[in-house]
Amino acid sequence: MKRGRVEMVTFASEVLRGNAAGDPHARRVPIYLPPSYDANGAQRFPVVYVLTGFTGRGRMLLNDNPWSPSLDDRMDALIAAGCPELVLVMPDCFTRFGGSQYVDSTATGRYETHLVEELVPWVDARYRTLAAREHRGIAGKSSGGFGALRLGMLHADAFGAVACHSGDMLFEYCYQVDFPKACSVLQAAGGPRRFLEAFEAKPQKAKDDLHALNILAMAACYSPEPAAELGVGLPFDLATGLPRADVWQRWLAFDPLRLLPTHAAALRTLRLLYLDCGTKDEFHLHHAARPFTAELEKLGIAHRYEEFDDGHMNVPYRYDVSLPELARALSA
Amino acid sequence: MKRGRVEMVTFASEVLRGNAAGDPHARRVPIYLPPSYDANGAQRFPVVYVLTGFTGRGRMLLNDNPWSPSLDDRMDALIAAGCPELVLVMPDCFTRFGGSQYVDSTATGRYETHLVEELVPWVDARYRTLAAREHRGIAGKSSGGFGALRLGMLHADAFGAVACHSGDMLFEYCYQVDFPKACSVLQAAGGPRRFLEAFEAKPQKAKDDLHALNILAMAACYSPEPAAELGVGLPFDLATGLPRADVWQRWLAFDPLRLLPTHAAALRTLRLLYLDCGTKDEFHLHHAARPFTAELEKLGIAHRYEEFDDGHMNVPYRYDVSLPELARALSA
Amino acid sequence: MKRGRVEMVTFASEVLRGNAAGDPHARRVPIYLPPSYDANGAQRFPVVYVLTGFTGRGRMLLNDNPWSPSLDDRMDALIAAGCPELVLVMPDCFTRFGGSQYVDSTATGRYETHLVEELVPWVDARYRTLAAREHRGIAGKSSGGFGALRLGMLHADAFGAVACHSGDMLFEYCYQVDFPKACSVLQAAGGPRRFLEAFEAKPQKAKDDLHALNILAMAACYSPEPAAELGVGLPFDLATGLPRADVWQRWLAFDPLRLLPTHAAALRTLRLLYLDCGTKDEFHLHHAARPFTAELEKLGIAHRYEEFDDGHMNVPYRYDVSLPELARALSA
Amino acid sequence: MKRGRVEMVTFASEVLRGNAAGDPHARRVPIYLPPSYDANGAQRFPVVYVLTGFTGRGRMLLNDNPWSPSLDDRMDALIAAGCPELVLVMPDCFTRFGGSQYVDSTATGRYETHLVEELVPWVDARYRTLAAREHRGIAGKSSGGFGALRLGMLHADAFGAVACHSGDMLFEYCYQVDFPKACSVLQAAGGPRRFLEAFEAKPQKAKDDLHALNILAMAACYSPEPAAELGVGLPFDLATGLPRADVWQRWLAFDPLRLLPTHAAALRTLRLLYLDCGTKDEFHLHHAARPFTAELEKLGIAHRYEEFDDGHMNVPYRYDVSLPELARALSA
């Protein structure tokens, strides 16, 4: 089997320099170059940006697991089986909150801008890509699926194809259900700052802590409040525990299900809009993907939707379905 | 130790006859009579109605458990330790949905009316009670705590003291978080009717089924829809899975936290308003009890509130705190 | 439907008086009398002794549960459907360790003697039973199934039919697997005495505590050591945590699987030997029941064995199968 | 901070060629070279072989995790903080059973021989190591801790220092407790071969499957039976479910706790014998490490033992304690 290779580049972002969360502005970004990249020095390739889920960053897509190939091995195998060749870019948009949702936020940093305005042109300048939106795709899972879908809606000039695996949407079901627990954890910790510091200091991260971190991170991304602790507007009043309706409305403005009606035109221009979700998704995202795709249907927006018999975690094997689809759409 | 005794009466309710859910209208209601009831044939006693939680009915308060006394044994011990004597009435407002929330509903039956207008006068006629609201209390846990608190608000002419243990309120946190799971279960079962029939047929009730039943029951109580399947308006669209805002508003009209501002006057007339909740309540009811009691404070409504270091289940030992308080308040 | 009735008798045991564990010698024993018992004052009835599992006692068989009939209601329904009438005796062999395994032990008391030599004759003297082993059966679930089966082996002169539901056997699988956890819990508590006192004082019993209590109780029953703390020989060294092979051998002497070869003759005399087990038994008792019944087969001992698709807990519905079998065998 | 680098070598093993399990004989082995390795071309370094736990292989020590440094990053940081420099070798002894326990077995392959006789000389030949047992250590966690400790006992001529984190021992507690569950899973699958094939085909590995795989793997390593299915002698009879005492004795011959008395002399020659374990180890390995180290004490064998407040999983941070100890011992 012919193998591609991975270049691990360190990208010094100007956009992220001095970000509010104090995260590094230089990021290590793995870039997968397919077998023919070195073999044929004249050929140009379509590119797919692959976005990781919450607590992830690009490098983790290369992690070794004896029963689940890393993304580069997976891509090698797909290409060997006839999939058109692709360059894969694996951005690092991690923050100390556990993620950025690939949006611009005063509490975390300008990750949307970093990705679209900074990383994309840099990759096109440095690598032999087909540097046009028709040949540039974006994909991801969970928060990465959210990111791919939302950026596909808002930056259809940059991306010509989208694959969204188990992407965050219908925020009532995927986030709101965790508010009371997150509130308990943050209250017990003495507020978000102390929670975060204690979390970082713990060698072992507890499940409840990760759930609370998730809600805190979403708040940092969707409802930053510069005057608040850590610059984050929580979706509940930390003193009383009661939900905050105003904050909740700010969150909903990011919900792909709510964004869809006003972004139908952008989605219509895509060469491929792929979505899938497990029928046992623990974040209930199948309950979101179904009305989302029903609405696509109603709006006459071409798409492909699959459900699979699994939950939310450990489903990178779904890239075996989406990457060939993306490759074909972006190679045409 | 002197012991009281329990009479198990069968009460044939006119109000419940022909109820929509097809539940029996004759109910077995245990009535605890304290030691002096037989000893002193002239003495009259205050009464407390004790309401069970979801899936419960009065008789279950007498269930044997080697490490947790039944309610009659508990009351005997409290009286032996100096608590004023009480008659305890343990109504059966169970339905095939698992409960009635002690409200009137076209989907279940008129349990609120049954309790207040039928059972109370019948008890007063048949037993040597102090037949006045000053001497009549109502208590309960979980759905029973909700029932006690709500009936105390709406029928302050009937009840002069209320004890609410871990009572349902702040419906966003105690109910809404279970909507997506309940929706999945009901969808998989083929709708509420098939779900309920399959549930009844299963010798072993699964945890997920009980969660779904809980949501179905709350819908039967809070948002009955005569035209809908089983007469129940679900808080989500069963086809799409999406939340239904109109149904949700009907639910909120039953939330004690929402009822409080308009029922402050009634609560002010109570001789005792007791609330407690575990700090680890799995239904997050501590996040409800805190703003509820904060609001009581603000409104200048006398009450007593305790938090205890435990969860939601298996906390009948809290009656050791509330029953003496009720007994003293109702004996005064 | 004709209904039987339950007499709750208090039995003052001489055998249990002054027992080592300090448990009461007077026990409340429910006795179910079938519909014809009162209707026909001359008729005599077969009897079945029904033994509860660990943490149980006879009265709990009458506990109310909206979806699972109490034993008396269950028996009424079976009789209405044609089952021969039976008297049911529900002994209380509970101890502060959570149970007695229905054996004689210096650490708990002489429960085997109490049951066979004291309770049986007393019942026969007081009630219109068919007072012969051909008409006397013994049944139980879990530790009660163990008790029924073992007493059927050792006291075939007293019992002519046995029903064993999910009974303890193959002690490697049902007990030994919990030794390390139990050891951790007992070590953390500061030894068995402190553990037991702390356990009794806790209003809420934790799952780990119940597992540890189970192992402690089995040790109290199977390997009492008068000189040891609480008179109990633990199956592991509490200081080092290491298994104790000598104690383990004492346990194995109680294992029905080991008792079988030397008690085949007794089992052959039974009118009915019924066993069943769930295929998902959490204590792995299906792995015990299979070789046990295979051995019965090999020894040519008549029996009936059923597996059902369920686990270990909440399976009283299996009495719907065993009680009619017992009734027919004991009525013949 | 000065950084070392990792060479990913592919090692074509002669010893593993044609192994029974059909696993590849060429393995990718990461080798960490410390900062001075390139800077000073004359210097030689001590080496530590780091063995992964069950389901692991060397490369996984390099996996990215935002809150837990990979082994190379961890080593860089330790060296920057003053730890003597080390070469780290991360062998791949994975098999289709999930691991090899670093022993020779006819069912898996000769992994012990591969490691000691093949990999060690090859590393010494190819890298500037201090090629003497005084400067060669072996470390690992869980099954890797078992491997390090056992190889330190049996090959003290090869390794002069050992670090065992949460290593498998006292097999009654860490393995035997899982026999009944593993038996159920293997029976349901239709035997080990079908189980393994189905397991490999599943994109999502269930927890119960992994437990069963663990027991199957240990059987493949400790009790191979060339005539049996897959060449594996199971510790229970698959038909009856009963434990097999003869197989169990073969397992015990590998238990470090049993090996200790006969290998005391070897352990006495070590420059460092380090052990640690979490006090909440889910495999109960603290109950093993305590008597093991107590026996070391009794035998007068120098060692260092630490307990830490955590469980069995996700504890690579313990290398922050052991690696500097090893480095100092092997550098002296």
Contact B138, B52 (CB under 8 A): no
Grouping H, G, I as helix, E, B as strand and the rest as coil, residue C307 is strand
- pLDDT value of position A332: 86
Q: Does D191 touch chain C (CB under 8 A)?
A: no
Which residues does residue B162 pair with via DSSP β-bridges, in sequence order?
A: B138, B273
What's the pLDDT tens digit per position in A266-317?
999 999 999 999 999 999 999 999 999 999 999 999 999 999 999 999 999 9
> How far apart are the C-alpha atoms of B93 and B29, rounded to whole Å?
10
Q: Does D309 touch chain A (CB under 8 A)?
A: no
Residue D67 has its nearest CB partner, among A67, A205, A310, at A205
Taking 90 as the threshold, does the pLDDT of residue C187 lie above it? yes
What DSSP character marks residue C163? Answer: E
> How far apart are the C-alpha atoms of B300 and D36, rounded to whole Å?
74
Which residues in chain D come in under a pLDDT of 70?
none
> How far apart are the C-alpha atoms of A20 and A107, rounded to whole Å?
6
Between β-strands A161-165 and B47-51, what pairing exists: parallel, antiparallel or unpaired? unpaired
- Signed CA dihedral, A126, A132, A133, A137: sign only: negative
Residues 6+ apart with CB under 8 A from A82: none
Q: Quick one: closest CA in B to A174, which residue?
A: B180
State the DSSP string of D264-307: HHHHHT-SEEEEEEETT-TT-THHHHHHHHHHHHHHT---EEEE
- pLDDT value of position C70: 98
With beta carbons under 8 A apart, name residues in chain B contacting C95: none
Contact B32, B76 (CB under 8 A): no
Q: What angle do CA D246, D251, D255 make, to 5 degrees?
A: 140
What's the pLDDT tens digit per position in A127-144?
999 999 999 999 999 999
Residue given tokens 């947790």 in the structure block? B68
Q: Quick one: closest CA in C to D244, which residue?
A: C172
Residues 6+ apart with CB under 8 A from C133: C156, C157, C158, C159, C160
Grouping H, G, I as helix, E, B as strand and the rest as coil, residue C172 is helix
**Residue B155 phi, psi dihedral angles, 5° rounding:** -130, 50
Q: Give mean pLDDT, residues A91-113.
A: 98
Please name the chains neighbouring D, where neighbouring means 3+ C-beta pairs under 8 angstroms.
Answer: A, C
Q: What angle do CA C87, C88, C90 make, to 5 degrees?
A: 150
> How far apart are the C-alpha atoms of D51 and D69, rounded to whole Å?
17
Are D64 and A63 in contact (CB < 8 Å)? yes
Are D242 and C291 in contact (CB < 8 Å)? yes
Contact A237, B287 (CB under 8 A): no
- pLDDT value of position B91: 98
Residue B294 has its nearest CB partner, among A176, A240, A294, at A240
ipTM score:
0.96
Taking 90 as the threshold, does the pLDDT of residue C1 lie above it? no
Contact B58, B145 (CB under 8 A): no
Residues 6+ apart with CB under 8 A from D134: D160, D271, D330
> How far apart are the C-alpha atoms of A65 and C56, rounded to whole Å?
48
What's the pLDDT tens digit per position in C263-291?
999 999 999 999 999 999 999 999 999 99
The mean pLDDT of chain A is 97
Residue C180 has its nearest CB partner, among D181, D241, D287, at D287
Are A65 and D64 in contact (CB < 8 Å)? no
Window 91-120 of D: residues touching A by CB (8 A cutoff) are 94, 98
- pLDDT value of position B327: 98
Q: CA-CA distances (angstroms) from residue A319 to A68, A69, A139, C75, D174?
A: 11, 11, 9, 58, 37
> How far apart are the C-alpha atoms of A86 and D122, rounded to whole Å?
38
Contact C273, C186 (CB under 8 A): no
Q: What angle do CA C278, C282, C288 make, to 5 degrees?
A: 60
Are B287 and A243 in contact (CB < 8 Å)? no
> How far apart are the C-alpha atoms of A45 and B230, rounded to whole Å?
59
Taking 90 as the threshold, does the pLDDT of residue A73 lie above it? yes
Residue given tokens 């409290």 in the structure block? B78
Are C60 and B60 in contact (CB < 8 Å)? no
Are D177 and C172 in contact (CB < 8 Å)? no
- pLDDT value of position A43: 96
Nearest to D275 by CA among D249, D250, D252, D301: D301
What number of other Cβ atoms are within 10 A of residue D134's Cβ? Answer: 16
Are A172 and B176 in contact (CB < 8 Å)? yes
Q: Does D239 touch chain C (CB under 8 A)?
A: no
Residue count (chain C): 332
Residue C177 has its nearest CB partner, among D177, D240, D241, at D177
Q: CA-CA distances (angstroms) from residue D52 to D22, D24, D143?
A: 21, 18, 7
Residue given tokens 């064998």 in the structure block? D301
Query: Which pairs from B297-302 meet CB under 8 Å and 24+ separation?
Result: B299/B260, B299/B261, B299/B264, B301/B264, B301/B267, B301/B268, B301/B273, B302/B268, B302/B270, B302/B273
Q: CA-CA distances (angstroms) from residue D19 to D95, D107, D194?
A: 10, 8, 20
Q: Quick one: closest CA in A to B241, which residue?
A: A287
The answer, yes or no, to whether A and C have at least 3 beta-carbon pairs within 8 Å is: no
Which residues does residue D9 pair with via DSSP β-bridges, in sequence order?
A: D29
Nearest to C109 by CA among C185, C15, C207: C15
Between β-strands B87-89 and B109-110, what pairing exists: parallel, antiparallel or unpaired? unpaired
Q: Does C181 touch chain D (CB under 8 A)?
A: yes
Q: Does D291 touch chain C (CB under 8 A)?
A: yes
Contact B86, B34 (CB under 8 A): yes
Q: Give mean pLDDT, residues C236-250.
A: 97
CA distance B31 to chain A (A): 38
pTM: 0.96
Taking 90 as the threshold, does the pLDDT of residue A101 lie above it? yes
Q: What angle do CA C216, C221, C224 make, to 5 degrees?
A: 85
With beta carbons under 8 A apart, name residues in chain A contacting D321: none
Between β-strands B272-278 and D5-12, what pairing exists: parallel, antiparallel or unpaired? unpaired
What number of other Cβ atoms are within 10 A of residue A108's Cβ? Answer: 28
The answer, yes or no, to whether B and A have at least 3 beta-carbon pairs within 8 Å is: yes
Grouping H, G, I as helix, E, B as strand and the rest as coil, residue B44 is coil
Nearest to A268 by CA among A233, A303, A295: A303
What number of other Cβ atoms are within 10 A of residue D282's Cβ? Answer: 13
With beta carbons under 8 A apart, name residues in chain A contacting D93: none
- Signed CA dihedral, A55, A60, A66, A68: sign only: positive
Give, for C10, the enclosing helix (H) or strand (E). strand C5-12
Residue D310 has its nearest CB partner, among A68, A204, A311, at A204
Are C64 and B59 in contact (CB < 8 Å)? yes
Residue given tokens 């508990």 in the structure block? B74
Are B204 and C65 in contact (CB < 8 Å)? no
With beta carbons under 8 A apart, name residues in chain A contacting B284: 180-181, 184
Grouping H, G, I as helix, E, B as strand and the rest as coil, residue A174 is helix
Residue count (chain D): 332
Which residues in chain B come in under a pLDDT of 70?
none
Are D310 and A64 in contact (CB < 8 Å)? no
Residue A204 has its nearest CB partner, among D57, D205, D314, at D314
- pLDDT value of position C248: 98
Residue given tokens 């009879």 in the structure block? D237
Contact A171, A150 (CB under 8 A): no
Residues 6+ apart with CB under 8 A from C132: C160
- pLDDT value of position A1: 86
The answer, yes or no, to whether B and D have at least 3 beta-carbon pairs within 8 Å is: no
Residue given tokens 């409802």 in the structure block? A223
Are A290 and B241 in contact (CB < 8 Å)? yes
Nearest to B155 by CA among B118, B107, B130, B125: B118
As a whole number of Å, the end-to-end CA separation of chain D is 25
Are D176 and C179 in contact (CB < 8 Å)? no
Q: Does A284 touch chain B (CB under 8 A)?
A: yes
- pLDDT value of position D330: 98
> How far apart are the C-alpha atoms of C158 and B155, rounded to whole Å?
60
